[in-house]
Amino acid sequence: KKVVVLISGRGSNMQALVNANLPCEIAAVISNKEDAGGLAFAATRNIPTAVLSHKGFSSREAFDAEMIKLIDSYQPDLVVLAGFMRILSADFVNHYQNRLINIHPSLLPSFKGLHTHQQALDAGVKLHGCSVHFVTAELDHGPIIAQAAVPVLPDDTEDSLASRVLTQEHIIYPQSVKWFVEDKLTILENGTVRISH
Ligand code: GRF
């Protein structure tokens, strides 16, 4: 199976996916930012890279339509959002229905949106974590595939908590992609995901 990974920044989750040697082909790594750190890593692994800047597009829909063309040129079975910092239009999400996944640095449905680690600290929760989910038109919603929890420690800062969560992201994202490419995931009618082993 072919997987296209979308990034905007350092790409540590993308690197974890590549390093996991999953039973699929990482057909391309695409960024909306030309200075995304992850692009250099992908190039060292001989993975095709592409940049499509959102600047210069008159609308979100126009950018997303061009992005769909670029992604589809690699004929992916799965599109993986790995720190892709763009809100996606309904058309984009619908185009990749049931084959578009995201990782979000919180235990959904808590703490959607940005600054999730600060949100967790502010709320005083004692457990925090990350979630891999299928993407639906509603931001940070969608059937949950996997989650990992970490403790929130008394002296945590946003950064210390983020790095504890990130370690778990690098475990559950490759695992989730593996399940997907092995056809082990089923989205049930009630919007939950069944994992067959
Ligand atoms: C991760 O925390 C991910 O959960 C969030 O953005 C961050 C991306 O980090 N969506 P990286 O680019 O994968 O290192």
Q: What integer pLDDT is reported at residue 139 of this predicted model?
A: 86
Q: Which atom of ligand 1 is nearest to the CA of 12?
A: 14
Q: What integer pLDDT is reported at residue 36 of this predicted model?
A: 96
Q: φ, ψ for residue 100 (rounded to 5)?
A: -135, 120
**CB count, 10 Å around CB of 107?**
21
Give the SS3 label for residue 163: helix
Neighbouring-strand partners of residue 131? 104, 147
Question: What range defines the domain where residue 82 resides?
Answer: 2-107+130-144+167-195
Q: Was 68 annotated as part of a binding site?
A: no
Match 């994992």 to its residue by tokens: 195
Q: Whose CA is nearest to atom 10 of ligand 1?
A: 83
The domain total for the chain is 1
Residue pair 76/47 in contact (Cβ under 8 Å)? The answer is: no
Is residue 140 lining ligand 1, measured as CB closer than 6 Å? no
**CB count, 10 Å around CB of 115?**
12
Taking 50 as the pLDDT cut, the residues of the chain under it are none
- 8 inside domain: yes
- 159 inside domain: no
- 114 inside domain: no
Q: What integer pLDDT is reported at residue 16 of this predicted model?
A: 98
- 113 inside domain: no
- 188 inside domain: yes
Q: Whose CA is nearest to atom 1 of ligand 1?
A: 83
Helices (H), the chain: 12-19, 38-44, 60-72, 90-95, 116-123, 158-181
Q: Is the pTM of this model over 0.90?
A: yes
The domain that contains 12 carries what CATH number?
A: 3.40.50.170
- 112 inside domain: no
- 30 inside domain: yes
- 161 inside domain: no
